[in-house]
């Protein structure tokens, strides 16, 4: 009887040790998969005259395929800290913009704009709050990325949402009811209508960035016209 109890104790101890090893291994795997990237960035190409581009962190290409005008990458994993992003024409490989950037963690969008023909190219780096909107709501913000457009007011249908937005300015995100709207820009001084985009569907739970892109009085052969761009952030 004593021998049976002794053997049982040894067997139970062995099972307990095996279980401890298995639990420790699972915990380590869970910790590894839970690690988030330092930061993420969505690259948005709105150069009005540069065509499709590739993006390099130093000499390392970070996009998987060329980024056409008025399109964006997914959110790309990047390291915290300072870097220099080089934007090169996808055909000629000529550098369009060399831009110092700094990421402190979290989610970002980087809009590239300005004319390559007069060396006015630049970037607009935004911090993206991707917290979900309230039930039945969408979130929306405005980015002014049109090089030669003056300050504008931004309307959703007939409701003023953001006023006096200058070039390179970025509004906060605001929540609004999901629905179908007409987006409008007007001159911030005169109130004159500038450009609009109709039948824009804002879906509940989604986050949107609306941007003024392209050029006023553009050269139709080499430059993109002024328009309103709508981008989903989630």
Sequence ranges of the domains in the chain: 36-128, 133-234
Confidence of residue 143 (pLDDT cuts 50, 70, 90): very high
pLDDT of 49 above 90: yes
Hey, what CATH class is 36-128 in?
mainly beta
Q: Are 43 and 124 in contact (CB under 8 A)?
A: no
Q: Quote the percentage of the chain above a pLDDT of 90.
A: 83
- What are the pLDDT digits (tens) for 11-31? 444 434 344 333 333 333 333
Global pTM value: 0.83
- What are the backbone dihedrals phi and psi of residue 198, each rounded to the nearest 5 degrees, phi first? -100, 165
Q: Average of pLDDT values for 208-225? A: 97
Same fold, 36-128 and 133-234: yes
pLDDT value at residue 37: 72
CATH (one of 2.60.40.1120, 3.40.50.2300, 3.40.50.2000, 2.60.40.420) for 133-234: 2.60.40.1120
For the beta carbon of residue 36, count every other beta carbon within 10 angstroms: 9
């Amino acid at each position: 009887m004593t021998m049976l109890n002794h053997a049982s104790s040894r067997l139970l101890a062995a099972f307990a040790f095996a279980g401890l090893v298995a639990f420790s291994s699972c915990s380590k795997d869970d910790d590894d998969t839970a690690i988030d990237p330092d930061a993420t960035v969505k690259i948005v190409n709105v150069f009005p005259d540069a065509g499709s581009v590739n993006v390099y962190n130093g000499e390392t290409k970070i996009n998987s395929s060329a980024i056409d005008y008025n399109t964006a990458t997914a959110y790309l994993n990047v390291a915290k800290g300072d870097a220099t992003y080089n934007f090169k024409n996808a055909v000629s490989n000529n550098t369009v913009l060399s831009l110092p950037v700094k990421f402190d963690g979290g989610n970002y969008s980087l809009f590239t704009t300005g004319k390559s023909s007069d060396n006015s190219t630049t970037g607009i780096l935004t911090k993206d709050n991707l917290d979900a909107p309230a039930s039945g709501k969408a979130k929306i913000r405005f980015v002014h990325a049109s090089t030669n457009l003056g300050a504008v007011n931004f309307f959703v249908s007939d409701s003023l949402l953001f006023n006096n937005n200058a070039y390179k300015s970025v509004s906060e995100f605001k929540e609004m009811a999901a629905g179908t709207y007409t987006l409008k820009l007007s001159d911030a001084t005169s109130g004159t209508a500038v450009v609009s985009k109709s039948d824009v569907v804002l879906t509940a739970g989604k986050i949107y960035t609306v941007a003024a892109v392209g050029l006023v009085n553009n050269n139709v052969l080499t430059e993109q016209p002024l328009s309103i761009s709508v981008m989903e952030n989630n």
